[in-house]
Amino acid sequence: MTDPLLDKSSAQRKTFFSQNHALLKQLTHEGQTPTALLICCADSRVMPEALFGLQPGQFFILRTVGNLIPPYHAADAGTVSALEFAVLQLQVPHLIICGHTDCGAIHGLDTPIDVSQKPALSRWLELARPAQRDVDFLGKVSGTERHRAIVEQNVRQQLAHVQSYPYVQAAMRAGKLSLHGWVYYLEIPAVGYLNQETGEFVV
């Protein structure tokens, strides 16, 4: 008996394995030394390997709903263990938070969620609430522009969350870790980055 869903991609896998056979063997032997921890959304349209041309072993990837990560005081074992492992064990030199437009998590901030049906999701999305408040406080934008502004502000917010961890602060102080904020604008399509001097995103 076979699994039809797995069978669908057997040709792609065959090509991938033959192209990367030596590299996979080397990575198995030597272990991984990724250059970055990438925290991005679980959305099916966000495909980091394709977008950033990644080879096996290059990025350690944590995918969460809305590319959210709790701050230190609210750390949960599931997501934060990936942060600990990447920063303390793998000692990645770069940490990237990558948001994206048309993000269901960001849209979800405007839609009342039935807490009794989705208790975890409703709690989780609150990690992005400050980003929504910041944008709405200024009240300068609406519609698509507002959504885009919240997506960008949410990346800044999650960058602030990761910086609340003492070991992240220590690695940054030692010059061993630098942070990056990216946004994948699906509708353009393009990927922009946060200019940390101006605080604005550059597409």
The answer to whether 41 contacts Zn ion (rule: CB under 5 A) is yes
How many chain residues touch Zn ion (CB under 5 A)?
4
Question: Residue 186 has which token pair?
Answer: 């699906």
Stretch that binds Zn ion, among 25-33, 105-113, 132-140, 189-197 (CB under 5 A): 105-113
Q: Which stretch binds Zn ion (CB under 5 A): 10-18, 36-44, 159-167, 182-190?
A: 36-44
- Minimum gap (Å) between residue 196 Cβ and Zn ion: 23
Over the chain, what HEC string results?
Answer: CCCHHHHCCHHHHHHHHHHHHHHHHHHHHHCCCCCEEEEEECCCCCCHHHHCCCCCCCEEEEEEHHHCCCCHHHCCHHHHHHHHHHHHHCCCCEEEEEEECCCHHHHHCCCCCCCCCCHHHHHHHHHHHHHHHHHHHHCCCCHHHHHHHHHHHHHHHHHHHHCCCHHHHHHHHCCCCEEEEEEEECCCCEEEEEECCCCEEEC
CB of 186 to Zn ion, least distance (A): 10
How many Å apart are CA 40 and CA 61, to the nearest integer? 8
Contact with Zn ion (CB under 5 A): which of 69, 83, 96, 103?
A: 103
Contact status: 43 vs Zn ion (CB under 5 A): yes
Which is nearer to Zn ion, 43 or 152 (by Cβ)?
43
Bridge partners of residue 109, in order along the sequence:
none
**Residue 136 C-beta: closest distance to Zn ion, Å:** 19
Q: How far is the CB of 88 from Zn ion (least distance, A)?
A: 27
- Which residue lies nearer to Zn ion by CB, 41 or 171? 41
The stretch near Zn ion (CB under 5 A) out of 20-28, 38-46, 53-61, 126-134 is 38-46
Identify which range of 17-25, 28-36, 78-86, 101-109 contacts Zn ion by CB under 5 A: 101-109
Rank residues 105 and 162 by Cβ distance to Zn ion and give the closer one: 105
Residues near Zn ion, by CB under 5 A:
41, 43, 103, 105
